Amino acid sequence: MKLIRLAAALLVSALIATPSLAQDRRVPASAAELRLSYGPIVQRVQPAVVNVYAAKMVQNHNPFLDDPIFRRFFGLPGGQQEQMQRSLGSGVMVDASGLVVTNVHVIEGADQVKVSLSDKREFEAEIVLKDSRSDLAVLRLKDAHEKFPTLDFANSDELMVGDVVLAIGNPFGVGQTVTHGIISALARTQVGITDYQFFIQTDAAINPGNSGGALVDMTGKLAGINTAIYSRSGGSQGIGFAIPANMVRVVVASAKSGGKSVKRPWLGAKLQTVTPDIADSLGLKTPSGALVASVVQGSPAARAGLKASDLITAIDGQPIDDPNGFDYRFATHPLGGTSQIDAIRGGKTLKLAVALETAPDKDRDEITLSGRSPFQGAKVANISPAVADELHLDADTEGVVVTELSEDSTAATVGFQKGDIILAVNSKKISKTGDLDKVTRDQSRLWRITLLRGGQQINVTLGG
C-alpha cells in the first residue's frame, strides 16, 4: 500500500446546523431522520470550493530525434520537444477578495495557474505564498472585482472521531463532487507527507484531483484541506488525510498579512519519541509524550528552563503523545506571548512558560547557483538556527545546505537532495554560500565533492 498525494497529473494540452462552538452530536431518532439530506449544507459551501489547474512546459527529449536519418524518414523535427504538462486539483476560497488555499503539490513548478469557480467562470491566479512544510499554498485571483463566497474555519481541535464530514473537490477532473463519511481518526502522526505530521483521517471518498479540496463539518465550516490517500489501486480505499483547519488558518493569516513565508514559533530543543523501553525506565504506564534530547543554548526552551531528559506531556492543556504532535501544536500558536508546557522531571511535574518567537535567521544568505557546474539550479543557504529548524538539522550544524532544487535543474539531475550539506568542492572547504558560489564559477572538467547526507559523509566525483 502506498501514500498518494491527490493532485492528478495529465499530459496535454434537511440538515442545517446553526454555527456554534460545538456540534450537536446525536444518532438519528427515527427512520424519517435517516432520509434527511445534506443538500442545504452542500448548497451553502459548494460555491466556495474551486478547481485549480496548473500548467508548465517540460522538455520531452527523445534520443531517436538526435538521429537525422530517423527524423528524415518519419518527417519529425529535431532536438528536444517542449510539451505542456497540466495538473489538476481543488482549492477553497478563504477570503472574499479572492484568496484561495490549495496544496503546494498541486501548483509546484507551475508557469500558469487558473482557478475555475463552481459557476464555470475561470480566473488567472498568482501564487501569493507557498509553505512546503505544511504542503499549503495561497493563491490570489487576478482581475477580480467582486466579493466571493468563502468558508469559515472550524476549530479542528474540537473535532471528534465519529463526526460526520463532507469532502468536496474535483476528483479525476470529472467536475465538482461531494462525498460523505466520518472522521476515522485524529492526530495521525506517522503519515510522512509534510513536516507537520498531524492529520485528520476520514473515510469520505477522496481521489486524485481532490488535493486542496474542502473537508467540511456539519456546521458548514472548513475542518481541513484534503491532501493524500493510502491506496493500492490509486483510487479511494477509505483512508484519506486532511490538513487540520488550525494549520490552514496560520498559513492563510501569513498570506493576508503580506508575508512571503510562514513565520512560526521556535522551541530550540530536539525531541525524541518515547519508546516502550524508555517508558519503562521512566516509570511510565504508557509510552507517550516527547522526550527532550538536547536544548539549544539561549533558545526559548533554554530560557524557560527546559532541560535534556525532561518529558513534555502537554502544551496549553493539550496532551502530547509524540514529538510530531508537539511540533504541530507549537507551530499553530501565534507569535508573541508565551505558551505553557507541562513537563516531568525526576517524577515531578513542571509548568514552564516558553516564549513564542521565531528562530534567528541572521546571515542566511540564500542564493541560487547559476555557474556551469553540477550545482547549477540548486538553492543553498548558510545554516542559521532558522534553516536548521526548517530542515530538521542539529542546531549546532555549520556550513552550507541545499534548501531547494528545481525539477529540471542540473543539480537535481546529478542527484543532489534537499538537506545535503556541502563540505568541500575540489579540495576547497565550503564554509558559506559565497565560497560555493565562487568555486562553481571555476571552469573544471572534474568535480570532487564532499557532502553530508543524513549524518553520513559522502565523497562524489563528477565529470564537468
- pLDDT tens string 377-425: 899 999 988 888 888 887 778 889 999 888 778 888 888 888 899 999 9
Confidence of residue 19 (pLDDT cuts 50, 70, 90): very low
The pLDDT of residue 311: 94
Residue given cell 521556535 in the structure block: 266
Winning range, highest mean pLDDT, from 26-40, 271-285, 290-304: 290-304
Cα angle, residue 157 at apex, residues 151 and 162 outer, rounded to 5°: 90
Domains of the chain with CATH codes: 1-12+38-260 (2.40.10.120), 269-355 (2.30.42.10), 367-463 (2.30.42.10)
| Average pLDDT value for residue range 175-193 | 78
3-state secondary structure the chain: CEEEECCEEEECCCCCCCCCCCCCCCCCCCHHHHCCCCHHHHHHHHHHEEEEEEEEEEEECCHHHHCHHHHHHHCCCCCCEEEEEEEEEEEEEEECCCEEEEEHHHHCCCCEEEEECCCCCEEEEEEEEEECCCCEEEEEECCCCCCCCCCCECCHHHCCCCCEEEEEECHHHCCCEEEEEEEEEEEECCCCCCCCCCEEEECCCCCCCCCCCEEECCCCCEEEEEEEEEECCCCCCCCEEEEEHHHHHHHHHHHHCCCCCCCCCCCCEEEEECCHHHHHHHCCCCCCCEEEEEECCCCHHHHHCCCCCCEEEEECCEECCCHHHHHHHHHCCCCCCEEEEEEEECCEEEEEEEECCCCCCCCCCCEECCCCCCCCCEEEEECCHHHHHHCCCCCCCCCEEEEEECCCCHHHHHCCCCCCEEEEECCEECCCHHHHHHHHCCCCCEEEEEEEECCEEEEEEEEC
- Give the C-alpha separation, 250 to 246, whole Å: 7
Mean pLDDT of the chain: 83
The residues annotated with a catalytic role in the active site are 105, 135, 211
pLDDT band at 20 (very low <50, low <70, confident <90, very high): very low
In the structure, what pLDDT confidence band is assigned to residue 40 with cuts at 50, 70 and 90? confident
Largest CA distance in the chain: 82
Please choose, from the candidates 169, 162, 134, 129, the residue with its C-alpha nearest in 3D space to the C-alpha of residue 23.
162
If you average pLDDT over residues 137-159, what whole number do you get? 91
- Are 145 and 108 contacting, i.e. CB atoms less than 8 angstroms apart? no
More reliable by pLDDT, 253 or 18: 253
Q: What is the pLDDT of residues 301-313, one digit of tens each?
A: 999 999 999 999 9
- At 68-123, the pLDDT tens digits run 655 555 555 555 555 556 778 899 999 999 999 999 988 887 888 999 998 889 99
Give the pLDDT mean for 426-444. Answer: 87
For residue 126, what pLDDT band results from cuts at 50, 70 and 90? very high
How far is 113 from 427, CA to CA, in rounded Å? Answer: 44
Cα separation values, 44 from 111, 150, 366, 433, Å: 33, 10, 45, 52
Task: Tell me which of 360 and 2 has the higher pLDDT.
Answer: 360
